[in-house]
Amino acid sequence: MNPLTLQSIAQALWMKEYDRAKIPPHILERIESEKNSEGAYAERFIGRLDQLEANQLSFVPARAERYALLRRHCLEKAALSPREFYASCLFLGPESITGYEPIPLDPTFKFPEIDLPQLKKQLGWHFFVGNFTDDAGKHYSVELMFWQYSLLPPPLAADFGLSDIENQSLELHLAICDPQTGLQYRANTVVVAGTTGLVEVKSNPFTYRLGHNSIEGLSANGDLFPVRLRARGWDMGKSPDVEIEIDLSLDNSKGYFLQGEGGCSPSVDGLGTLYYSASLLKLLPGAESSITISGKRIALTGGSMWYDHQWTTGFMPVGAPQHAVMRAANNLSKAAPGGWDWFELQFRATQAIVGPGEVQMTFSALHSWANEAFYWQTGPTPPGQMTVPLNGKFIDERNLTTNISGTMTVTNWVKNDTSPNPAVYPPTNTWYPAGYRFTIDQELAPWLKEFTLTPLIASGQTGFFGTGLQYTEGGVVIRDVEGNEIGRGFAEGTNWARTTDTVVTAAGLPVNEQTRALLTPVVPSELLVIESGLYCELEQAELKKILAAAKGL
């Protein structure tokens, strides 16, 4: 098997390098099975291309030449690693939504069942981020994410004899930031296929495992909370490599809330995301929680985390709407550049501030072409100030939510030259946001109306998905306009860096003009644009009806 496949399997089992002799026989049997072979993955990918070519959708530009290129490379090698299959999904077209469950307009969120990974959707993630202190008051931040992708639409996976779990590609993202040393330790991204037998999902007790890494409910009734999070990895961008580990026990002190509109964030004609959060997870009393860096165990005594569960169809790659008129409408405007900035903020009153004790906010700001001059910058000087509108939620002491809006200004930038595994994910040397100022439109306490965010460390708070895409994720300190600390949180950003060559390499393709072009949008022809405009004119009533029914826009 591909050395990177073996490395991920090893690290999922908490071994830095693959050692066949140390793997239990029942696990080894699954790893070395025909279902997990690169020949089987190549066969499935050819089957996926066959399906896409047989389900070309109206008002969607054809990708015949691109699919022919992918097919030729796959047939020539007669082998495809699970990670190569996964990365190659980024090259597929809007018709790639065929066979996946659409996002509904009237979702039901039934707990605790809904906390389980939604394996029939195209993509989903369980996401925990937060800030902690030890008994000396030293500050650390932690990120843990399980990111799962259904490689084939479930009906096609079943045709190949795969269960929903076997059809998954599951990533582990793990990071610890230590501002005392000025370093973030980010584990090499582990990418493991469900056919290895290393992915486990159980409802009672709640269990979600990737090898030895786990999200485990501690109750006997199937609830996610209280929960124990355990994970280990290696930052291979440090010299020497640094082993990190977390063991956290948390309880959900405020409960859940639905993001967007009734959990739709958004839901438009079968596309979008379903999304809910828990804004304040506190350390479980009576249980030991710790982080470990280079063998040094640090007991945690204070702090909290944030939990997101989100799943989507038609997000990666961008999918086609269900109705022809919506697909036609998409041809009449330029597609958005993709990417976003997201924040979770956990406020607390202090001696300098009188107000509600524990309230939270979350925001997102989608990238737009209006700010193109700030994205993908690698020059010698940082971009200037960037101000964008944002929308989100305010969560009060009773866990009641209010929609809020405002503006976010990036006030500082840092050029990121780090990577958790430079041999696989070369540093991008891209300018990333490194300081923010927020102004809120709604009437809130004065100290919640305007504030700043400062990252825990100046640089290095970036990571990579197994596909090769880079993102930033790191702890921040919240301060009021007087400079008083009023809380802590996390800041996230995607699609700030161009990593085309890294994605092409992750897909197992040679890097050249043809393969780089696989990531560029297929622009509709002039004739298709004309036909799309005429069709939208004829079907105006249906278009208005679909948009009126959409939620969370």
- CA gap 8, 16 in Å, rounded: 9
Tell me the two tokens of residue 152: 């084939």
What one-character-per-residue DSSP string does 313-372 give? ESTTTTPPPSSHHHHHHHTTSPPP---EEEEEEEEE--TT--S-SEEEEEEEEE--GGGG
Please state the separation of Cα 123 from the chain's center in Å.
Answer: 9
CB-CB contact of 375 with 495 (8 Å): yes
Distance from C-alpha of 274 to C-alpha of 277, rounded to nearest angstrom: 11
pLDDT value for 355:
59
CB within 8 A of 548, min separation 6: which ones? none
Closest to 476 in 3D by CA, of 398, 394, 337, 363: 363
Q: Could you identify the residue written with the tokens 């956990």?
A: 346
* pLDDT average per 10 residues of sequence, the chain (553 residues): 96 97 94 97 97 94 95 96 97 94 94 95 97 96 98 98 98 97 96 98 96 96 96 96 98 96 96 97 96 98 97 94 97 93 88 68 95 96 96 94 96 94 96 96 92 90 96 96 94 97 98 96 95 97 97 91
How is residue 269 annotated by DSSP?
T
Task: Find, among 439, 453, 446, the residue nearest to 353 by Cα.
Answer: 446
C-alpha closest to that of 273 among 503, 550, 83: 550
Beta-carbon count within 10 A of 172 CB: 24
Task: Report yes or no: 107 and 263 within 8 Å, Cβ to Cβ.
Answer: yes
Cβ proximity of 235 and 242 under 8 Å: yes
Q: What's the CA gap between 519 and 501, in Å, rounded?
A: 10
- pLDDT, residue 352, reads 55
Query: In angstroms, how far is CA 7 from the centroid of its own chain?
Result: 22
**3-class SS letters over 429-465:** CEEEEEEEEEEECCCCCHHHHEEEEEECCCCCCEEEC
DSSP structural state of residue 98 = T
Give the H or E element holding residue 43. Answer: helix 38-54
Cβ atoms 288, 249 nearer than 8 A: yes
- 107-131: burial string, b at 16+ Cβ within 10 Å, e else: beeeebebbbbbbbbbbbbbbbbbb
Res 183: pLDDT: 94
Q: Using CA atoms of 20, 21, 22, 26 in order, give the dihedral in degrees to the nearest 10.
A: 80
